[in-house]
Amino acid sequence: DTGVSQDPRHKITKRGQNVTFRCDPISEHNRLYWYRQTLGQGPEFLTYFQNEAQLEKSRLLSDRFSAERPKGSFSTLEIQRTEQGDSAMYLCASSLGVKTEAFFGQGTRLTVV
Amino acid sequence: AQSVTQLGSHVSVSEGALVLLRCNYSSSVPPYLFWYVQYPNQGLQLLLKYTTGATLVKGINGFEAEFKKSETSFHLTKPSAHMSDAAEYFCAVSEGGGSNYKLTFGKGTLLTVNP
């Protein structure tokens, strides 16, 4: 068990481009979460999945953001038409069922230039 | 809605001194409370958590925290700071008493340890 894995670790993109991040949770963890962390702030919840179902989306997740978790395994987070305000660390976490702790990946740092 | 307030965005201590990082929370349901540590350009690592039961919780690396319902606090302490403790620390509360594991984080406290 290698923990939660995120790819890429760093991404620099030009404004207006689309980007996609991948998260591989700990195997058998049925819950998967995405958070966004901007400089000097704590992580903010974006969305979460239970198996393949996306159960909740934050108001922070504009129409340009979409997340998927096909087959309830890995997840992808896509940002379309990136803006400078999207620059942040995107963190993925997974947990096994309810009332159990979430384990975080190392994050993907996005810089939009 | 839940919220977390971490008092002091930056705390500086000498090596060997007591570490005290403050956290107050607001929750309409019995909270689950957590402290996470984050090293530069890294993800979050769980230090300790309170769910139910004993209000004094011990975690990794010698840290502990006490849940005080009357004060709505969950302060993090360590008797003797080590250089390796220098990092950013986040307090968090989960919604629904843990049934929905969505976490609400504070803004973080940067701990520096001076030799």
Residue B2 is predicted with a pLDDT of: 86
CA angle B49, B46, A62 (to 5 degrees): 100
Q: Which of the pair, A8 or A62, is modelled with greater confidence?
A: A8
* Cβ distance of A45 and B102 shorter than 8 Å: yes
| Distant-in-sequence contacts of B56-64, Cβ < 8 A, 24+ apart | B59/B35, B61/B85, B63/B19, B63/B35
Question: In chain A, whose CA is at the least distance from the CA of B44?
Answer: A104
pLDDT tens by residue, A50-73: 999 998 899 888 899 999 999 889
Residue A98 is predicted with a pLDDT of: 66
The pLDDT-based confidence of A18 (bands split at 50, 70, 90) is very high
B103 in Cβ contact with B32 (< 8 Å): no
Mapped onto helix, strand or coil, the DSSP state of residue A70 is helix
Mapped onto helix, strand or coil, the DSSP state of residue B98 is helix
Residue A99 is predicted with a pLDDT of: 65
Phi, psi dihedral angles at B100 (to 5 degrees): -115, 120
Residue B31 is predicted with a pLDDT of: 85
pLDDT tens by residue, A93-106: 999 876 678 899 99
- Which of A93, A99, A107 comes nearest B99 by C-beta? A99
Residue A3 is predicted with a pLDDT of: 92
Bridge partners of residue B7, in order along the sequence? B22
What is the C-alpha separation between A12 and A108, in angstroms, rounded? 10
Residue B98 is predicted with a pLDDT of: 53
What is the C-alpha separation between A44 and A47, in angstroms, rounded? 10
Residue A5 is predicted with a pLDDT of: 96
Question: In chain A, whose CA is at the least distance from the CA of B43?
Answer: A106
What is the C-alpha separation between A3 and B80, in angstroms, rounded? 30
* Cβ distance of B102 and A33 shorter than 8 Å: yes
Q: Over its length of 115 residues, how does chain B's per-residue pLDDT go in tens digits?
A: 789 999 999 999 999 999 999 999 998 778 889 999 999 878 899 999 998 888 899 999 999 999 999 999 999 999 999 999 999 999 999 875 555 578 899 999 999 999 9
Bridge partners of residue B3, in order along the sequence? B26
